[in-house]
Homo-oligomer: A and B are copies of this chain.
Amino acid sequence: MPVQAVPEPSPELLSLAVGLRRAATDLGQTSDQQRRDALLAMAQSLQSHAEAIVAANLEDRQRAEQNGLAPALLARLKLDGAKLDGAIAGVRQLAELPDPLGQRQLHRELDEGLVLERVSVALGVVGVIFEARPDAVIQIASLAIRSGNGAILKGGREAESTNKAVMIALQDGLKATTVSPDALALLTTREDSLALLRLDGLVDLIIPRGSNELVRFIQDNTRIPVLGHADGVCHLYVDAEADPDQAVTIAIDSKTQYPAACNAIETLLVHNAIAASFLDKAIPVFQAKGVRLLGDPAACSLGIEDVATDADWSTEYLDLTLSVRIVDDLETALEHIRRYGSRHTEAIATRNRATAERFLRAVDSAGVYHNCSTRFADGFRYGFGAEVGISTQTLPPRGPVGLEGLVTYRYRLRGDGHIAADYASGDRQFIHRDLPA
């Protein structure tokens, strides 16, 4: 049994989770306007607590630096005034998005007087376990409240002070609204974050945001569905018919615009026919940006100095390192992506539309792009307002998960004494007529 590695929830955690579930049940019944108001109050409160939050973050970062945290993780940990303003703007943007609840997705007359509908409803309670990135607390809490869900959050130890300051601001903001502050909770101990995995029946979805190891551990130790946000080993394939300048621009952006992000590329696949001229242009630009390049033998023969080992092709560097492989054709590029990719986001640079369409159909990742940066794989950029994470699983929700991924649905059937025996006997027949939404 998987759950043996995980402790039983303490009475305190159980009582917190039961209270949170009760608050979430009420929250699920609130109106669109009530949830909008709650979000605006949260945004307002974050603003008035901004100084305290930024100060707490500075404290976290100083401690992390002393502890020798890697630069990539330090970048994720940072929540300065500008990043906080961006997060607050995100909360306000979420308040403006259409209500994800109460949407009728299906409306069908099964027979005269027997009417089926399928309506979107809140999931209930989401449990989120994340490392570093304290802005995640803001995104996730506001997504949860907007979609009528309670949220239990557990952040990394590095961001402890920031997370607490953010949670105080959020709950303070909710106090004056119809949404109970109890709909949000922050866990602070490792025991509690482990025991969270055993709260099936009280928590409906676990969202791990962190390393592949964290995601796998959680998948292996809970019966609660997990929205997998595994490593992002993303690829850019530069086709023989790519525009070389555009391809360089896309490659630089995909790697360097925010290398600590999961949607940054880790591997560049370059078609043999364009490799020499493309690398001639690209290598100096990468060097100027401080990117360390690792190549396969063919790439090394074209000017890349360091050798990529087999392990490099499956490594998410989260840093200014990029592996480069020269391929003979599109098929080899596709095969490489199938073998080493994490089904997150892959892009092709080509002027040949047919080649692009083949790539867009053949690559089975959550996002497949043509002539643009992989960095667009993001809930904000897709217009979702925010995201709880990017799912690389096959099943929906897939890719950047926003409000839509935090709701489920319920079938309602209204009749007037209808029984199945009448249809089994042939006395009555189903008509299955779709009604206006």
**A interface, CB within 8 angstroms of B:** 1-3, 29, 108, 110, 114, 116, 118, 121, 123-124, 204-205, 216, 219-220, 223, 225, 243, 246, 249-250, 252-254, 257-258, 356, 360-361, 364-373, 375-377, 381-383, 393-396, 398-399, 408-421, 423-424, 430, 432
14 other A-B residue contacts (CB within 8 Å) besides A371-B416, A373-B419: A29-B361, A108-B382, A108-B383, A110-B376, A110-B381, A110-B382, A249-B417, A366-B410, A367-B410, A369-B412, A369-B413, A373-B420, A383-B430, A398-B410
Would you call B365 and A410 a contact (CB within 8 A)? yes
Q: In the complex, what distance in Å separates the CA atom of A331 from the CA atom of B156? A: 41
Would you call B250 and A394 a contact (CB within 8 A)? no
A-B CB proximity, top 9 nearest: A372-B415, A253-B419, A375-B420, A2-B2, A383-B432, A372-B418, A246-B417, A204-B394, A369-B413
Would you call B418 and A376 a contact (CB within 8 A)? yes
Most buried by B among A204, A258, A368, A412: A412
Known contacts A2-B220, A123-B395, A223-B219: A371-B417 contact under CB 8 Å: yes
Would you call A205 and B394 a contact (CB within 8 A)? yes
- Write the nearest CB–CB distance from A403 to chain B, whole angstroms: 13
Would you call A424 and B257 a contact (CB within 8 A)? yes
Q: List 22 A-B contacts (CB under 8 A).
A: A1-B220, A110-B382, A114-B376, A123-B394, A123-B395, A225-B395, A243-B417, A246-B417, A253-B420, A257-B421, A366-B410, A367-B413, A368-B410, A368-B412, A368-B413, A369-B413, A369-B414, A370-B414, A372-B416, A375-B420, A376-B415, A396-B396
Would you call B382 and A408 a contact (CB within 8 A)? no
- Write the nearest CB–CB distance from A302 to chain B, whole angstroms: 23
Known contacts A204-B395, A223-B220, A424-B257: A419-B250 contact under CB 8 Å: yes
Q: Which residue in chain B gives the minimum CB-CB distance to A363?
A: B410
- Write the nearest CB–CB distance from A365 to chain B, whole angstroms: 7
Would you call B394 and A382 a contact (CB within 8 A)? no
